[in-house]
Structure 1
C-alpha cells in the first residue's frame, strides 16, 4: 500500500496510551516500550499506519469520526458494524491462506471512533489492474481475477441464508445516486426520468428477486483487497457489509473494471474479456457452472450501471469523464 510518513506519535497523545496498553499485548513482536511512527495510508485522511519504531510491528487505525465526518451516532454505528463484520467473517473460517479477513484488534469510541486492525502486506488489487493496463500483462490480471472470484464465492456461499433478495433496497440505493447526480448538476430532469424508468424495468424482472441473500462485502472495489501469493486474497474495510444479492459485489467489481480500463485507455470495451473471465471463474464454484453464470450475468448489468453512477458522483471526477460514465451506465441499465 502507498503510505506517507507524517512523523512520530507523541507519548502525550491518548492514542499512544491506547496502543501501548490495549493493542501492544495482542501483537507478537511488539516491543515493551514502543514508540510509533505514523503514516497516512493510500491518501486517506481517516486511515493510518502505526509502526513500532523498535521492532517494525505495524497496525492500522481507521477513524470513523473526523473533521469531515462529524455525526457521532453514525460514526459509532459504522465502527460497530465493521468490527462485528470482521469478527463474524473470521469466525466462519476466512482466516489465513488463501482467504483472509484482517484481524480486528480493538475499538475505542472515545478516540474519534477508532478501529484498530492488523496490518497485512501484499499488493492492492487496484495496483494489479493498473500494472496490467500499463504493461499489457493480461495473464497476471487473469490470475488475480481467478483468485478474487474464488475468494468472493467463499465469502458469499458460506453466508447464504434462506431469505430471498429484497431488490427494493437496491432500487432505493439507485435513487440516492440519481439524487446526488442531480444535486451536482451532472444530469438534468430528462435523464433522471429515463433512469427512473430503467430502474422500474429492472424492478419488474423476476430474476432480480430469485436468489437467496448472502453477506456481501458491500464495497467491493479494487482498493479494498490485497493479493498475496498464488490464490491468496485479503479483504479490508467491511464497514458496508450487509445481507444482499451476491451480484451486488460481483457487479460492482465488474463496473470497477470497466471504469479502470475506460479511464486509462479510452476504450469502454477494453475490460470485457476480464469481466467475462471473472464472472465465469466465480460461477465455477457452484454445482452447475453454466446455470450460475447465466443467473449472475443476467443481473450484472444493473449492478454495473449503478456502480458507474456511483463513481460519477465523486468530486474528483472530471466533467467530461463523468459524462462518459453516466452514458455508459445508461447503456448497461438498458440491458434488461
Structure 2
C-alpha cells in the first residue's frame, strides 16, 4: 500500500511523547529521536510512525477519523473491537500485533508495522503466486480450525442482503438475486455444525509477507460464528477481479483459485465440500468489489455474482 511523508514529530508533541513514553520506549535506544509520519489511503486515517535512527516503526489507525463512506458509527467501539479481534487472532496466526489503544488521540489503535511485500504485489506481478496463496491458505485454515464456535447461518444471509441493499439494484435484478438466495437458504449446502472466526476483509493488501511468512492485517470487520469458506470465497473473488481487470480474463485466475482451495483442504472430500459452497461466498466477494466500480464493470461483476449463485446443485 502506497504512503506519503506528511510530517515529522519532535519531542514535545503529545502523540509522539505518548508513543515513546508509554508504548514503545523499551524498544528505543534514543528516546529523544524525532518521528517521521507516513500516511496511507484507507477507510480511516492510517499512518506509519518511523523512529529516526532506530530502524523501527509502528502503525496507527484513528477510528474517530473516518475517510470512507461509513462515518456514522461508534469509534471507541470500533477501536476496542479490532483490538480484541487482533489479540484473539494473534494467539493463533501471525498478525500485526496490537500494542496500545488510546481514546484521547481520536480513538487510536497502535500495532506493529510489518515490513515486506503484500499479497497484492504478488497478484499484480504474478510472481510466486501459487506459493504465496498456499501460505495464506494454510494460515486461514489455522485460524478457522483453532477458533471453532457455534454457527450463525442467518448472519451470512443478512450480510448478503445488506450488500445488495447497498448496490441499489433495479427491481428485476434484485428479485432474481432474492430467488436464488432462497434456493441457497433451503439447500443443506450451507448448513454446518460449527462456525469459526473469519478474517472477513480478505483483500490482497491485508496480507504481508515478511521473511517468508504471511501476516494478516486489519481485523476491524472480523466475524465469529461464521462459515470458514467466506474467507476463501472473498479471496477467490479478489483473484478473479484482478485477472479480469489487469490480465485479460478472469478465467486465467482459475488455476490459482483451484490450487488455493486444494492447499486449504484437508483431503479430497473436504475439497469437494469447499468447492460446492464456494460460489455463494465468491458471489458476495464480487458484489463487494462492485460497490467500488461504476458503469460496465460494475454490471459485469453483478452479472458474475448472479452466475455464481446459479451454480447451486
Structure 2 residue 170 is matched with structure 1 residue 188? yes
1:9 corresponds to: 9
Map Cα deviations across residues 156-184 of structure 1 (whole Å, 9 max, x no partner). 111113x2x322111111111111111xx
Please identify, of 30-39 and 105-114, the stretch whose mean Cα deviation from structure 2 is larger. Answer: 30-39
Structure 2 residue 75 is matched with structure 1 residue 75? yes
Structure 2 residue 39 is matched with structure 1 residue 40? yes
1:217 corresponds to: 199
Change in Cα spacing, 1:30 to 1:85, as seen in structure 2 (3 Å) is farther
2:307 corresponds to: 331
1:173 corresponds to: 159
Determine if contact 2:44/2:66 at 8 Å carries over to the other structure.
Answer: no
Q: Give me the CA root mean square deviation.
A: 1.8
> Within 2, Cα distance between the matches of 1:206 and 1:166?
14
2:271 corresponds to: 293
Structure 2 residue 244 is matched with structure 1 residue 262? yes
> Within 1, Cα distance between the matches of 2:66 and 2:57?
25
Determine if contact 2:11/2:33 at 8 Å carries over to the other structure.
Answer: no
State TM-score, norm by structure 1.
0.87
Map Cα deviations across residues 101-124 of structure 1 (whole Å, 9 max, x no partner). 111110011211100011111110
Determine if contact 2:96/2:114 at 8 Å carries over to the other structure.
Answer: yes
Change in Cα spacing, 1:60 to 1:202, as seen in structure 2 (3 Å) is same
1:150 corresponds to: 138
Determine if contact 1:312/1:325 at 8 Å carries over to the other structure.
Answer: yes
Determine if contact 1:211/1:245 at 8 Å carries over to the other structure.
Answer: no
Measure how far apart 1:265 and its partner are: 2.7
> Within 2, Cα distance between the matches of 1:170 and 1:160?
16
Measure how far apart 1:67 and its partner are: 5.4
Unaligned stretches of 5+ residues in structure 1? 95-99
Number of aligned pairs? 309
> Within 2, Cα distance between the matches of 1:50 and 1:30?
16
Determine if contact 1:255/1:305 at 8 Å carries over to the other structure.
Answer: yes
Match of 1:116 among 110, 114, 120: 110
Structure 2 residue 281 is matched with structure 1 residue 303? yes
SS in 2 for 1:306: helix
Measure how far apart 1:11 and its partner are: 4.6
> Within 2, Cα distance between the matches of 1:169 and 1:266?
35
> Within 2, Cα distance between the matches of 1:35 and 1:108?
21
SS in 1 for 2:6: strand
> Within 2, Cα distance between the matches of 1:43 and 1:166?
30
1:312 corresponds to: 290
> Within 2, Cα distance between the matches of 1:246 and 1:16?
40
